[in-house]
Amino acid sequence: MADFMVFAETRGGNLRTVALETVSAARQAADASGGGTVHALVCGAAGVAGAAEALAAHGADQVHVVEHPQLAHYNAESVAATAAALIQSTGARAALFSASVEGRDLAPRVAAKLGVGLAADVTAFEVHADHVTATHPVYTGKAVATLRLVGTPAVLSIRPGAQPAVEHAGKGEVSSLAPALDPAAARVVVTEVGARGAAKLDLGEAPVVVAGGRGLRAAEHFSLMEDLAAAFGNAAVGATRAVTDDGWRDPADQIGQTGRLVSPDLYVAVGISGAVQHLAGMRTSRVIVAINRDKDAPIFKVADYGIVGDLFEIVPRLIEEIRARKAAG
Amino acid sequence: MKIAVCLKRVPDTEMRFAIAADGKSVDTVGLKFEISTFDEYAVEAALQLNEAHAPGEVAVVGLGPDGLGEHLRKALAMGADRAIHLAAETVPYDALAIARSLAGALKEQGFDLILFGRNATDTGSGAVGPMVAELLGLPCVTAVSHLEISGATGTARRELEGATATITFPLPAVLTIDEGIARPRIAGLKGIMAAKKKPMEVRPAELGAEVLSIDRLALPPERQAGRIVGEGADAVPELVRLLHDEAKAL
Amino acid sequence: MTILPLRHQLQLSQDRFILPEAPGPEAVAMDVLFVGAGPAGLAGAIELARLVQADGTLGEIGIAVLEKAESLGEHNLSGAVVNPRAFRELFPGMADEAFPFRQKVEGEAIYFMTAGGSTRIPTPPTMHNKGNWSASICEIVRWLGEKAEALGVNIFTGFPVDSLLVEGHRVVGVRTAPSGLTRQGEQGGDYTPPTDLSATVTVLTEGTRGPLSQAWTAWQGVGSANPQIFALGVKEVWDTKVPLDKVIHTMGWPLPRDAFGGSWLYPQGPNQVSLGLVVGLDYRDANLDVHEMLQRMKLHPLIAPYLEGGTLLEWGAKTIPEGGYHALPERFSGDGLVMAGDCVGFVDVPSLKGIHYAVQSGIFAARAIFAALKRGDSSAQALSGYDAMVRGSYIARDLHRTRNMRLAFKDGFFTGAAKAGLMTLTGGRLPGGRIAMHADAEVPRKTGTGTPFQPDGVRTFSKLDAVFKSGNATRDTIPSHLLVGRDIAPEVADFYSHLCPAGVYERVGDELRVNPPNCVDCKATDVLGPRWTPREGGSGPKYRSM
């Protein structure tokens, strides 16, 4: 039997999907250990307690809610202190965080406060009596490390999307918790969280890259790619060398051996045949989608999913479907 | 302003990547090493801050084997003033062990800012910076993509998933630097010459017990042959479903 | 139809490389500058630093080595089986085992290949490799670099020299190439201006087909009996599963009979082989494609078994000066200038050796420069001691002994082989006299239709795949450093596309398309087509174990 503490990430008072994934991962591990208790910690302004229901539905037995006006935004110092205290008071075997931007800020602070090890950005883990093993992609995805973490509690951050959010009723007892550090005393203060501005996402860091090739036939058709990127919301637009050579796009947008090397979570190749020079720049992407008229195009050999056909029909439909999916949350 | 920048020496695995015979590490035969990308951004950010808030100094600090020296030297050639090399035959996987060693070297030196890269390009954990902050009791902002310092207060921007956070903090502080803050400068000939005369202190890393270790390093599973979902626009809903449910890419 | 390469080639003005300007006020002052961190430059710097230190009377002498590659060794490529002789002289008392070589040659074999088979033939005396070592020149250069730095030599990687600064006939320094130019040649956000360096003596050790050596010899009117001629070598390094216990050389297929060249297969440790193909650039068939021939060769029953289950680790290409003794310049030094290594042409083709001549000439350059510094005189007269040392050494003797052997092949393989055999027997005396040569660009080429080759991506690779394996990650927005002649006919575009192993040139429709970032600085088209000029530091290949 192992008990778990999970930090449930919110934004704007709403649970993020990664919170449900992390709770689900804890539930599964607790059950695998013979049925431990899953504690979830959720912090926010008044009303964040409403998140407890969803956490319970994904396996949380105890939901600890901290409500404070100064927790409306992520408050690293207060939340870290509270999480560390809760881990200690619950005697949790392991604490799970999301390896999101904020989770990766929080988990190391908590581990350092407790003086214990952290396995960051793991895709899977197993809890044993005297150690925890965790799987962590390293070298920008070129290898996978199996880590061994000794000591209790073990702190882990779980890569977003690596563990599915699974509905599984937990006891769902809700209790309110006082912050271990007054949020108003925090030195680091998030003053504003805004939608990302017009600033273009960098190709190297965008989680999604949509890239266009000669199949787009003209520079002005790249507006279709811009629309597709906008639909994803977290995408950057890239291009092949043929396209940048023809001046349709800025050379800085070129993905390939002589341009940018990218390794996003999702790569959508539109009207790209798949010249080796291009493949060299994107082959380490996690998931590759190809849309091309020619079913024999080499791009389909590296693509996980392909659609053969006219991109001018397929891409607008894809924009529509992605928008619908994003709207549904 | 006194600024410290912590650097990690990492292998450049772009061309060649193989697992060593021990099954736990990268085969370094013929491998080239470099300063981890984000750390180089941190160096640039420090140099620009130092130029804007003179007088001051930029110290670069690293932990690693002999080969680290040339990378510290490169940072000196870019314009840093001095270097501290915490000598260790290998860099542990355990971020806390690294953080303890660095914190020991950085404490009580009066740094206004201690900068790190957002994460190292080898392990990609991004844990050492915030751990050092905790150990030193300093405020910390991670993944800073834009930074302004005014007096004893800083304002930083952090890119979240689909949003941007604006964050204020007091100095002294620990920051981890994201891409996009500034493009690293190329060291000129004169900088390289000058770097030879700049001080580089070498002392043992004093690494304590490690609680995180690596059991095994393996190549990821081969990319499976792709699948044609269908033809034309009618195949789009199925594609989106697969991306969401199967590939978990949405 | 026939193509005369020279007709389509731009003549590079020496004004491009020789600037009658004093180093600028911001110049970095050095005493001795080596241009190019290959075996010649680094050996020279090491020897000079040691002589200065041992002497102790010259005070602080600034020695610098400028290198265009981003890191040491990344632009060096060789077979290589190395004669350790010059290394022993550079590091007296050090055992051969301590040199950065891979393994001692334990056996050797030469084969004459046909399309489907091969026949082992006796090893000619010039090609014996007993006592020699297989090695990676990249590793040798990195090792020499460490030795040089430990002696206080300044090594500046990522700084190509763009031009020589001269006063009258004297070379007084160099100017580096700028970086951060846009494709249109304007100053971009990362623009770094050129840097001037002043020096009492500048040593050109820039390697094969060096633009500065060409410009300086032209400017100084330094001639040679024969024009220098070149070969193009394409090399691959493979991680292998099948052990190779000997050094293998081949002749014959896949070369046509009117081309000179051959291939090699060398063991580089237990699980690695180096293989490559070298073809003289006086070949006649405009469709000849060295990269493609090497790909076909890997499928031949003699070669294929060794690569079974292996993977391509690296790919690269470079030219080799093959003119030998008669193509050496009349002098190797002048006012404030010395030349050493491949850029002079210190390569012995019959024994397939150049590295130890480069190291040895670097050592001689250092000794002559040291003597000049001691006397406070770096005039042509004072530095001519270098020429005397080279001419009195095994460098000149070896090249003289084999002076006509490569040249004999200008009329094809069989006449060449017969003549070369006679030369070996007579120590180079017969057939007598100097065989006069044309520059490679003056040899006409026959156009025709080649057989298309489809690489499989496993054993054989396209040029684009190959360039990727050279580690070339040159910025795509770089301005072109390749100067192409005007009105390139479609046939000439085809010729260039076959000539260039790196896919820099393509025929698109009837037009020539140039992809400068692909360039791996092999210089093949500088010999026969578009001219090569220095570009931004750190561009080009990143060889690690070539």
How far apart (Å, rounded) are the C-alpha atoms in residues C323 and C229? 5
Residue A278 sits at the chain C interface (C-beta within 8 Å): no
Are residues A10 and A149 located together in one domain of the fold?
yes
Per-residue pLDDT reduced to its tens digit, A121-161: 999 999 998 999 999 988 877 789 999 999 999 999 998 87
How many angstroms away from the CA of A280 is the closest CA of chain C?
A: 7
For residue C350, say if its preceding peptide bond is cis, omega within 30 degrees of 0.
Answer: no
Residues contacting residue C165 through CB under 8 Å, at least 6 positions apart: C19, C21, C22, C23, C171, C172, C173, C174, C175, C196, C198
Contact A26, A126 (CB under 8 A): no
Examine the pLDDT at A183 and tell me if it is beyond 60. Answer: yes
Contact B9, B34 (CB under 8 A): yes
- Domain stops at, among A185, A217, A241: A185
Coil vs helix vs strand at C198: strand
Is residue C295 exposed (0-12), middle (13-18) or buried (19+ Cβ within 10 Å)? buried
Residue C473 sits at the chain A interface (C-beta within 8 Å): yes
Longest CA–CA span in chain A (Å) reads 64
Residue C137 sits at the chain A interface (C-beta within 8 Å): no
Are residues A179 and A215 located together in one domain of the fold?
no
Instruction: Please judge whether C477 and A257 are an interchain contact, meaning their C-beta atoms are less than 8 angstroms apart.
Output: no
> Considering the domain boundaries, does residue A220 fall inside one?
yes
**Share above pLDDT 70 across residues of chain A, in percent, rounded to a whole number:** 96
How far apart (Å, rounded) are the C-alpha atoms in residues B235 and C32? 69
How far apart (Å, rounded) are the C-alpha atoms in residues C356 and C81? 10
In this complex, the residue of A251, A258, A259 whose CB is nearest that of residue C518 is A258
| Crossing angle of helices C137-150 and C39-55, rounded to 10° | 20
B109: Cα separation from own chain's centroid: 21
| CA distances (Å), origin A160, targets A163, C129, C208, C305 | 7, 59, 53, 46
> Considering the domain boundaries, does residue A196 fall inside one?
no
Per-residue burial over A70-101, b = 16 or more CB atoms within 10 Å of its CB, e = otherwise: bbbbbbbbbbbbbbbbbbeebebbbbbbbbbb
Examine the pLDDT at A164 and tell me if it is beyond 60. Answer: yes
Contact C72, C170 (CB under 8 A): no
Examine the pLDDT at A199 and tell me if it is beyond 80. Answer: no
Are residues A251 and A126 located together in one domain of the fold?
no
User: Which chains reach chain C with 3 or more Cβ–Cβ distances below 8 angstroms?
Assistant: A, B
Amino acid identity, position C495: F
| pTM recorded for the entire structure | 0.88
Which residue segment(s) compose the domain that A304 sits in? 208-327
For residue A316, say if its preceding peptide bond is cis, omega within 30 degrees of 0.
Answer: no
Per-residue pLDDT reduced to its tens digit, A94-131: 999 999 999 999 999 999 999 999 999 999 999 998 99
Are residues A94 and A19 located together in one domain of the fold?
yes
Instruction: Please judge whether B226 and A304 are an interchain contact, meaning their C-beta atoms are less than 8 angstroms apart.
Output: yes
> Considering the domain boundaries, does residue A279 fall inside one?
yes
What pLDDT does A275 receive?
A: 75
> Considering the domain boundaries, does residue A52 fall inside one?
yes
Per-residue burial over B1-12, b = 16 or more CB atoms within 10 Å of its CB, e = otherwise: bbbbbbbbbbbb
Are residues A24 and A92 located together in one domain of the fold?
yes
Number of folded domains that form chain A: 2
Coil vs helix vs strand at A266: strand
What pLDDT does A207 receive?
A: 86
Token duo for residue A122: 């793991």
> Considering the domain boundaries, does residue A201 fall inside one?
no
User: Which chains reach chain B with 3 or more Cβ–Cβ distances below 8 angstroms?
Assistant: A, C
In this complex, the residue of C26, C71, C179 whose CB is nearest that of residue B186 is C179
Domains and their CATH numbers in chain B: 2-204 (3.40.50.620)
Strands annotated E in C255-295:
261-267, 272-280
**Residue bearing the bigger pLDDT, B29 or A196:** B29
Are residues A54 and A23 located together in one domain of the fold?
yes
DSSP B144: E
Task: For residue A257, name the pLDDT band (cuts at 50, 70, 90).
Answer: low
Among A residues 214-253, those touching chain C with beta carbons less than 8 Å apart: 241, 244, 251-252
Q: How many CA atoms lie within 13 A of C312 on its CB side?
A: 23
Longest CA–CA span in chain B (Å) reads 67
| CA distances (Å), origin C39, targets A20, A53, C47, C143, C397 | 61, 72, 12, 10, 20
Are residues A178 and A221 located together in one domain of the fold?
no
How far apart (Å, rounded) are the C-alpha atoms in residues B167 and B182? 19
DSSP A40: E
For residue A119, report the phi and psi dihedrals to the nearest 5 degrees. -105, 110
How far apart (Å, rounded) are the C-alpha atoms in residues A36 and A93? 9
Longest CA–CA span in chain C (Å) reads 67
Tell which residue, C197, C157, C143, C142, has the closest CA to residue C175: C197
How long a stretch of residues is chain C?
546
How far apart (Å, rounded) are the C-alpha atoms in residues B132 and B125? 14
Q: Which residues of B touch A309 (CB under 8 A)?
A: 231-233, 235
Examine the pLDDT at A198 and tell me if it is beyond 90. Answer: no
How many angstroms away from the CA of C475 is the closest CA of chain A?
A: 6
Other Cβ atoms closer than 10 A to C20: 11
CATH number of A110's domain: 3.40.50.620
> Considering the domain boundaries, does residue A194 fall inside one?
no
CATH number of A257's domain: 3.40.50.1220
Are residues A170 and A235 located together in one domain of the fold?
no
CA dihedral B229, B235, B240, B243 (to 10 degrees): 0
Q: Which residues of C touch B31 (CB under 8 A)?
A: 544
Amino acid identity, position B135: L
**Residue in A with minimal Cα distance to B135:** A112
For residue B177, report the phi and psi dihedrals to the nearest 5 degrees. -105, 130
Examine the pLDDT at A245 and tell me if it is beyond 80. Answer: no
How far apart (Å, rounded) are the C-alpha atoms in residues A6 and A55? 10
| Per-position pLDDT tens, chain C of length 546 | 899 999 999 998 889 999 999 999 999 999 999 999 999 999 999 999 999 999 999 999 999 999 999 999 999 999 999 999 999 999 999 999 999 999 999 999 999 999 999 999 998 888 899 999 999 999 999 999 999 999 999 999 999 999 999 999 999 999 999 999 988 889 987 899 999 999 999 999 999 999 999 999 999 999 999 999 999 999 999 999 999 999 999 999 999 989 999 999 999 988 999 999 999 999 999 999 999 999 999 999 999 999 999 999 999 999 999 999 999 999 999 999 999 999 999 999 999 999 999 999 999 999 999 999 999 999 999 999 999 999 999 999 999 999 988 888 877 777 777 777 777 777 777 677 888 889 999 999 999 887 889 888 889 998 988 988 898 878 777 899 999 998 899 999 999 999 999 999 999 889 998 988 889 999 999 999 999 999 999 999 999 999
How far apart (Å, rounded) are the C-alpha atoms in residues C361 and C393? 9
Residues contacting residue A82 through CB under 8 Å, at least 6 positions apart: A41, A43, A66, A177, A179, A180, A181
How many angstroms away from the CA of A312 is the closest CA of chain B?
A: 9
Are residues A155 and A280 located together in one domain of the fold?
no
> Considering the domain boundaries, does residue A200 fall inside one?
no
Substitution target in B189, B193, B196, B222 with the highest count of C β-carbons within 10 Å is B189
What pLDDT does A3 receive?
A: 96
What pLDDT does A200 receive?
A: 66
Strands C247-252 and C108-113: parallel
What pLDDT does B181 receive?
A: 81
Beta bridge partners of B207: none
Are residues A221 and A164 located together in one domain of the fold?
no
Task: For residue A329, name the pLDDT band (cuts at 50, 70, 90).
Answer: low
Please work out, in degrees rounded to the nearest 5, the angle formed at the alpha carbon of residue A215 by the alpha carbons of A209 and A216.
70
Tell which residue, B171, B13, B141, B9, has the closest CA to residue B74: B9
Are residues A75 and A38 located together in one domain of the fold?
yes
For residue A74, report the phi and psi dihedrals to the nearest 5 degrees. -55, 125
> Considering the domain boundaries, does residue A129 fall inside one?
yes
Examine the pLDDT at B236 and tell me if it is beyond 50. Answer: yes
Amino acid identity, position C241: K
| CA distances (Å), origin A195, targets A44, B98, B163 | 19, 36, 4
Please work out, in degrees rounded to the nearest 5, the angle formed at the alpha carbon of residue B107 by the alpha carbons of B101 and B112.
125
Are residues A229 and A314 located together in one domain of the fold?
yes
Instruction: Please judge whether B126 and A314 are an interchain contact, meaning their C-beta atoms are less than 8 angstroms apart.
Output: no
Other Cβ atoms closer than 10 A to C206: 29
Per-residue burial over C218-246, b = 16 or more CB atoms within 10 Å of its CB, e = otherwise: bbbebebebbbbbbbbbbbbbbbeeebee
